[in-house]
Chains A and B, each alone.
Chain A
Amino acid sequence: ETGVTQTPRHLVMGMTNKKSLKCEQHLGHNAMYWYKQSAKKPLELMFVYNFKEQTENNSVPSRFSPECPNSSHLFLHLHTLQPEDSALYLCASSEQVSREQYFGPGTRLTVT
């Protein structure tokens, strides 16, 4: 068990739905990350939070809205998604932004 949990593990949603992905880390880390993993593409960094403050947004469309209420929790709010947003969404955390990252099991998202 990596100490980083994600819920739900699988999600199917229509393009007009609103849903949220949740990530929780039990490692006492200060930095948290959202990644998108699509088939046959490199892992894409979406957002970085350091001490609850967003420090990086990699030109992610506004239909993805992150929230970090504290250093242990990270959410990704989803609305009006497109089929091409279907992917595995991975959450990660690290002690500091310069240290190795630990990943959760991911949420497999399918947009219909």
Chain B
Amino acid sequence: AQSVTQLDSHVSVSEGTPVLLRCNYSSSYSPSLFWYVQHPNKGLQLLLKYTSAATLVKGINGFEAEFKKSETSFHLTKPSAHMSDAAEYFCVVSDLTGTASKLTFGTGTRLQVTL
């Protein structure tokens, strides 16, 4: 079984300050991990992915995430928030079981960016 926990349902930061969105996972297998972003009235966009290569993963729009197996974490960070980063962020874990890959989504973290 696999699961993912996003520790904060809502995060508010000031523009220009760092962003930290926390994610912990549980997986019976060696997982793949993803972060997706969803802007209002839009579909989900892939930000970055970890698939057992480098543990520090760089994504689009200046985001990055570090896979820490000992902590079962995959936190998303960005050095300096921009107003356009305001959106819902989803941490996702993937197990390959049989012929189907099952994505398990977290409940999401809403990021608010203030002036």
Interface residues of A (CB under 8 A from B): 2, 4, 6, 41-43, 45, 48, 50, 55-56, 90, 92, 94, 96-106, 108
- Mask: chain B, 17-55; 1 = CB below 8 Å from A; 0 = not: 000000000000000101010000111111001000000
How far, in Å, is B108 (CB) from chain A's closest CB? 8
In-complex Cβ contact of A2 among B45, B101, B102 (8 A): B45
Considering the chains assembled together, what is the distance between the CA atoms of A42 and B90 in angstroms? 9
Quick check: B46 and A43 within 8 Å, CB to CB? Answer: no
| A residues less than 8 Å from B32 (CB atoms) | 98, 100
| Complex Cα gap A6–B44 (Å) | 13
Select which of B34, B44, B49, B103 is within 8 A of A45 by beta carbon: B103
Main secondary structure of the interface of B (DSSP, over half): strand
Q: A48-B100, A90-B43, A97-B101 are in contact. List 4 more A-B contacts (CB 8 A).
A: A100-B49, A101-B103, A104-B43, A108-B41
* Chain B residues with CB under 8 A of A4: 43
A105 engages B101 (CB within 8 Å): no
The distance in angstroms between the C-alpha atoms of A41 and B101, with both chains bound, is 21
Known contacts A98-B96, A102-B46; A42/B106 CB under 8 A: yes
CB distance from B61 to the nearest CB of A (A): 15
Given that A43-B90, A100-B34, A100-B49 are contacting pairs, would A90 and B44 also be in contact in the complex, using a CB cutoff of 8 Å?
yes
